[in-house]
Structure 1
């Protein structure tokens, strides 16, 4: 059973023929709007009625004591806030209907059993669902982002919460649950489990192997497809993994997922690569992908060519180095001001081709720094001079934060249901970009960024390469 933060979840989506009436406009959700149905029926009956009629009135999700049902795509608007065709509530918020809140038989909101317990449970489920929606759509749960229908057009809705003065406690419960999900662990996700076969399927498993098509030879740009395995697939996976930035099939797995099987994770890595470089996005690596990978490898080789002829200097964390006066750009692409050149700094972190300087919290290329106690500083400075004309303009690039209301959450690992928040970055701001990884619990993957001297991860649809 698919669940949404522990609440049974299913979809009863409005037909595509009615989307022009019910949800005509694309939307990036920025807030949540809470409603109550003012009747005693179930979520299923509410949704059936809404998607079955020809009225424009619509909402995204209905919740009762047993389940949550999605009726509209979350990336399209609904007409539920009563603030007009271009109203903020209608055009930017997810509409959530809570059921079981009015006793039609007795014409009262003063509920008795079993309706009373049904409403209380529906409200508890709504807390979990709304908190998960906030996490899924990068909406910070607070009083500014979780609104009542009343806040948009002064309609008495959610009427029972308003009448019984339950709203503040309900809102605080959502915020507490959201903080639990962000800071600790989400119990589940609204997205169904990924049933795509893993790339590192064991070749000794005959029942698994029988589903794959073996190919031979080398990869020279011919189109490869999901379901194939053999040397050409491994060639392609290796080139993706060795790209700068890397596009691993499964970062952290054995060989980072390079296993010669073209499964769902390898296809995802190809799609991320194609998206990153503005290529045709179809998940099929062919001549265009091969050509770009070869081009990137050539650029990388030429950049390091002059310095590779001399012995590479040895760097250690906490050792002192001097930033060369001939250095042009930080490893993240920005121009290095003259005021910081020629000075001594402490190495805080080390990567393959760069070091993080503690005092200025900046990544610089190894070729642009000289060990203060090194006897070969003159030759190293010469190496920096000879290669200063090579392309250094952010080979990892920068990530710009987009599609959020105010800020994106930076996580400690690429798994939004199990990661901890290590901070936020404002909309429109940029971060040094390391690459793209598949991670877990996100259809859009994750961006790997440099954040506060270490690595952080941002959900794929909230970043854009700049």
Structure 2
């Protein structure tokens, strides 16, 4: 994950100062053909690029709307993919309904994936992978799992969000669903858990006061097949 932070301190949502205990993650997409992070995150920090229209969300009510999410995923000025955290993770966002309403705001961390024209497979798979990384990070941070992740349209079906199609108007175009997304998060969480559970035992096989003797012995050890052997000076 390529994570940066630029908190939208001028947004009315941030200034409201409400906090939550995160119980889930809600995945959104922006609904506009504009993959550049600078459209929503600003001002320019040297990586985002300048937004000439100054219509990013770091203002009281962007576009006259009461909206704010915890993060955005999209393109930096150099075209690479990144995640920008835009609210503290435990801040109550305004993301799953018009304005401050919507019970999903009380329970879910939210992030938006910046849409392009929905047809670029390369871009899609990059932001899809970045979104998986973000969800894995948040799950580990708050003790959540893949079953706690939904998209906006699923939130509507559960009665906690407004009637929006995201992200199911986009993911299936590239052979993905929220189920495949959740499965990918599950696999990544399991892989990291297994990695953390591994224990390593090192065996010292020599101690020398002469550096040249140590180097000669290291050569013998490596020639014997122990190619990961190394010298540690103490």
Q: Which residue of structure 1 lines up, in the alignment, with residue 22 of structure 2?
A: 29
Distance in 1 separating the partners of 2:22 and 2:173: 28
Residues 11, 68 of structure 2: 8 Å contact kept: no
Distance in 1 separating the partners of 2:102 and 2:172: 23
Q: Alignment partner of 2:116: what SS? A: coil
Residues 67, 99 of structure 2: 8 Å contact kept: no
Shift in CA distance, 53/171, structure 1 to aligned 2, threshold 3 Å: same
Shift in CA distance, 102/66, structure 1 to aligned 2, threshold 3 Å: closer
Distance in 2 separating the partners of 1:78 and 1:93: 8
Cα offset, 1:61, TM superposition: 0.9
Q: Which residue of structure 2 lines up, in the alignment, with residue 173 of structure 1?
A: 184
1:27-78 per-residue CA deviation (whole Å, 9 max, x = no partner) reads 1111000011222322343223122351321100111252111000111111
Q: 1:126 aligns with which of 124, 128, 131?
A: 131
Shift in CA distance, 86/20, structure 1 to aligned 2, threshold 3 Å: closer
Distance in 2 separating the partners of 1:41 and 1:53: 23
Show structure 1 runs of 5+ residues with no match.
1-6, 104-108, 186-417, 421-466
Distance in 2 separating the partners of 1:141 and 1:88: 20
Residues 25, 77 of structure 1: 8 Å contact kept: yes
Residues 23, 58 of structure 1: 8 Å contact kept: no
If each structure's helix is expressed as a fraction of its own residues, which one has the higher value?
A: 2
Q: Which residue of structure 2 lines up, in the alignment, with residue 51 of structure 1?
A: 58
Distance in 1 separating the partners of 2:13 and 2:100: 13
Residues 23, 78 of structure 1: 8 Å contact kept: no
Q: Which residue of structure 1 lines up, in the alignment, with residue 88 of structure 2?
A: 73
Residues 28, 75 of structure 1: 8 Å contact kept: yes
Shift in CA distance, 27/11, structure 1 to aligned 2, threshold 3 Å: same
Q: Which residue of structure 1 lines up, in the alignment, with residue 221 of structure 2?
A: none
Q: Which residue of structure 1 lines up, in the alignment, with residue 71 of structure 2?
A: 61
Q: Which residue of structure 2 lines up, in the alignment, with residue 102 of structure 1?
A: 116
1:245-281 per-residue CA deviation (whole Å, 9 max, x = no partner) reads xxxxxxxxxxxxxxxxxxxxxxxxxxxxxxxxxxxxx
TM-score with structure 2 length normalisation?
0.63
Shift in CA distance, 20/126, structure 1 to aligned 2, threshold 3 Å: closer
TM-score with structure 1 length normalisation?
0.33
If each structure's strand is expressed as a fraction of its own residues, which one has the higher value?
A: 1
Q: Count residues with an aligned counterpart.
A: 168
Name the structure, 1 or 2, with higher relative contact order (CA <8 Å, separation 6+): 2
Cα offset, 1:140, TM superposition: 2.0
Q: Which residue of structure 1 lines up, in the alignment, with residue 223 of structure 2?
A: none
Q: Alignment partner of 1:147: what SS? A: strand
Q: Alignment partner of 1:50: what SS? A: coil
Cα offset, 1:23, TM superposition: 5.4
Q: Alignment partner of 1:47: what SS? A: coil
Residues 35, 157 of structure 1: 8 Å contact kept: yes
Show structure 2 runs of 5+ residues with no match.
43-55, 75-79, 157-162, 199-234
1:130-169 per-residue CA deviation (whole Å, 9 max, x = no partner) reads 1111111111222xx1011012233111130256562222
Q: Alignment partner of 2:27: what SS? A: strand
Q: Is 2:161 the counterpart of 1:161?
A: no
1:70-99 per-residue CA deviation (whole Å, 9 max, x = no partner) reads 000111111111187453311111101112
Q: Which residue of structure 1 lines up, in the alignment, with residue 3 of structure 2?
A: 9
Residues 44, 69 of structure 1: 8 Å contact kept: no
CA RMSD of aligned residues (A): 2.4
